[in-house]
Amino acid sequence: MKKLFLYIFLAVTSIITLIPFIWMISASFMPDGKASVYPPVFIPTEFVLDQYLNLLTRLSVARSFLNSILLSTLVTFFSLFFNSMAGYAFAKYRFSGKSKLFNLLLVNMIVPSQVTMLPLFLILKSVGLINTYFAILVTGLANIFGIFLIRQHCMAIPDSLIEAARMDGATDFQIYRKVILPLAVPVLVTLGIITFLGTWNDFLWPLIALTDDSMYTLPVALSSLMLEHTKDPELMMAGSVITIIPVIIVFLVLQRYYIKGIMMGSVKE
Amino acid sequence: MKDSYSYSYSSKAAYFFLAPAVIAIFIFFFIPVISAFIMSFTDFDIYALGNFDTVRFIGLRNYVQLFEDPLFWQSLQNTAYYVVLATPLSITVSLGAAILLNSKLIKYIGFFRLSYFIPYITTLVAVAIVWRFIYHPKFGILNYFLGLFGVNPIDWLGDPNLAMPAIVLMSVWKTFGYNMIIFLAGLQNIPEDLYEAASLEGANEWQKFKAITIPMLAPTTLFVSIITIVSYFQLFAEPYIMTQGGPLNKTLSIVGYMYQEGFRWWNMGYSASISFVLFFIIMVVTILQFKLQKNRLA
């Protein structure tokens, strides 16, 4: 009895949680005006792809989609490369200034990124890099949280493995590439998915740094589309579906790693 | 584990590994933070954008002006209201969900956990757009469901008193899954025999919850509260998409005001001082956390 009640409660609350998505998907397949009716319809009576075709051909959402894919991939690749090298160095090397540098980075984790945006805009503008991919890329090249995560992971790698590789004549970079990176794959996947989704979903900085609609990422393109289409829920829902579906797919495939990332100390958004 | 002595000679390699990340963080993070601090003591405005020579140091005048700016106080008050309303709500909902999912009685936990968690990973801008239509006074599905219970249509985002609560509701829906995961991990760390011992003594579920779960989860709850508060203070995209700060500036947030002053009116010196007020608030919250944690350990 108690068990049945529990199941019903969980099922109902799950449906309530998912209803915005259900409505979003169904409205995105309706012709103009069909989502603005009372009472609301949850299954389209007439199933059309008009909104998607409109977004991808007439409005430059296809371009924004490519921008988002490209930028998220580039940021993920570079930040994994830079963070893993730095994390490894902090875990396994002794050098002067190590603890000072480490503490300096640690202290900076509490600075909200909004603080950097005004000067960063001016710096990039003065060298002509506003409204380029570079403007988004540079803010994600490395991040302190990622360096810490990889450092934690590398500290657990036994010194004897590194020692043995060194005996065999491996250079420092070969050790990093052939010994450390393969052992760090789980934490790299975790960090990779967090970075990819974080870049994909990011809004404020791309809104500031990308000024031309051919450069927009999906969230910026959606927000600008919303200004002209406040009365077109069908079109806006199709835009939301295009933005959200890739995120959900990536998450479903790699959710185990993502959840682990949360446990390892908060995903920074 | 101790570093073995054989690595100490290879500090050159360490610098080589550190250089890309450290240089990137230095140029694109440290320098901007320091520049922003300096900027907040200048009158950097739209004219300075064309010619840096017109910038003058004006001491604390931006901060004094902030203090007297009713719109700034409004944004501070709105953000505080949002944080105060959303944080306890988010923690209650996520703790409730975690306790349900931790129950030994049920199967398919993975499915329920997934449906609670999905909103968290989705794109904020996209779901804010979805919710804008959900809150539509005439055709929105929220008013439809409330109508089934006899509630008259409500203009959620158009009413100055309801717009912020509506944003709170959406935010809690969006983020509770994250805190739920952390609470679930915390619950699984509570030793089972504590509950068994309490059962033998004849304690009921509510007594066990009060005497075991709550105190054992206290460190987790503190951690969750702090990260929730810090992230909620950075409110921006929800009002930007759903209300543009309105009605009557009742949903204008600190970051929203910073964006407006800095990137719409190009009052960048003034905007920089707003960003440092945000920094200060977040710093105070974070230091408070460290203090509380220390007290706990002592």
B115 contacts in A (CB within 8 Å)? 14, 17-18
Average pLDDT over residues B19-30: 96
Residues 6+ apart with CB under 8 A from A210: A131, A135, A136, A216, A217, A220
For residue A48, count CB atoms less than 10 angstroms from its CB and return exposed for 0-12, middle for 13-18, buried for 19 or more: middle
Chain B residues lying within 8 Å of A110, measured CB to CB? 282-283, 286
User: Is B39 found in the same domain as B180?
Assistant: no
Nearest CA-CA distance, residue B283 and chain A, Å: 7
| B268 neighbourhood in chain A, CB within 8 Å | 118, 122
Q: Each residue of B218-263: pLDDT tens digit?
A: 989 998 999 999 999 999 999 999 999 989 999 999 999 999 999 9
Residue of B nearest to A155 (CA): B1
Judgement on whether residues B88 and B41 belong to the same structural domain of the protein: no
pLDDT over 90 at B298, yes or no? no
B129/A267 CB distance under 8 A: no
Decide if B139 and A122 are in contact by the 8 Å CB cutoff: no
- B106 with B157, same domain: the answer is yes
Q: Which of A160-164, B5-9, B31-35, B92-96 has the lowest mean pLDDT?
A: B5-9
Residue B256 falls inside a structural domain: yes
**Chain A residues lying within 8 Å of B6, measured CB to CB:** 163, 166
Nearest residue, CB atoms, B4 vs list A155, A163, A233: A163
Structure tokens at B68: 């007297």
CA distance B81 to B31: 33
Please report, for the domain that includes residue B203, its CATH number: 1.10.3720.10
Specify whether B9 is located in the same domain as B98: no
**What is the nearest CA distance from A166 to chain B, expressed in angstroms?**
10
Of B25, B262, B286, the CB nearest to A118: B262
Whether residue B101 sits in one domain with residue B199: yes
Task: Classify residue B210: in a domain, yes or no.
Answer: yes
**Residue B4 confidence (pLDDT) above 60:** no
Range with the poorest average pLDDT among A192-206, A235-249, B68-82, B92-106? B92-106
Domains contained in chain B, number? 2
Residues B26 and B105 in one domain: no
Hunting for tokens 């409730």 — which residue is that? Answer: B96
Q: What does the alpha-carbon distance between residue B146 and residue B159 come to, in Å, rounded to a whole number?
A: 17
Look at residue A152 and tell me whether its pLDDT is greater than 60.
yes
Residues B47 and B106 occupy one common structural domain? no
> How far, in Å, CA of A84 to CA of A95, rounded?
17
The per-residue pLDDT for range B83-103, each reduced to its tens digit, is 999 999 999 999 999 999 998
DSSP A142-195: --HHHHHHHHHHHHTS-HHHHHHHHHTT--HHHHIIIIIHHHTHHHHHHHHHHH
The H or E element containing residue A36 is none
Same domain, B236 and B269: yes
> Reduced to 3 states, what is the DSSP secondary structure of residue A97?
coil
The residue count for chain A: 269
Residue B62 lies in a domain: no
Contact in structure between B231 and A269 (CB atoms under 8 Å): yes
* B201 and B228 fall within a common domain: yes
d(CA B147, CA B63): 48
Domain membership of residue B32 as a residue range = 5-54
Confidence grade of residue A84 (pLDDT, cut at 50, 70, 90): very high
> How distant is the Cα of A168 from the closest Cα of chain B, in angstroms?
15
> Which of B24, B115, B278 has the CB atom closest to A142's CB atom?
B24
pLDDT in tens, B120-162: 999 999 999 999 999 999 999 999 999 999 999 999 999 999 9
Q: Write the residue in A119, A144, A218 that is nearest to B32 by C-beta.
A: A119
Contact A112 B234 (CB under 8 A): yes
Interchain contact, A247 vs B121, CB within 8 Å: yes
Given 3-state DSSP classes, what are the helix, strand and coil percentages for chain A, each rounded to the nearest 5?
75, 0, 25
Q: What would the two tokens of residue A263 be?
A: 């446990």
Do the Cβ atoms of A263 and B25 come within 8 Å?
A: no
Q: What is the pTM of this model?
A: 0.94
What is the CA angle B12-B15-B17, rounded to 5? 110
For residue A162, list chain B residues with Cβ-Cβ distance below 8 A: 7
CA torsion angle for B40, B46, B49, B54 (degrees, to 10)? -70
Same-domain pairing of B230 and B198: yes
Chain B residues with beta carbon closer than 8 angstroms to that of A119: 31-33, 35-36, 39, 272
Confidence band, pLDDT 50/70/90 cuts, at residue A265: low
| B120 plus B251 within the same structural domain | yes
Are residues B286 and B221 both part of a single domain?
yes
Q: Do B123 and A144 touch (CB under 8 A)?
A: no
Q: Could you tell me the domains of chain A?
A: 24-263 (1.10.3720.10)
Whether B59 is in a domain gets the answer: no
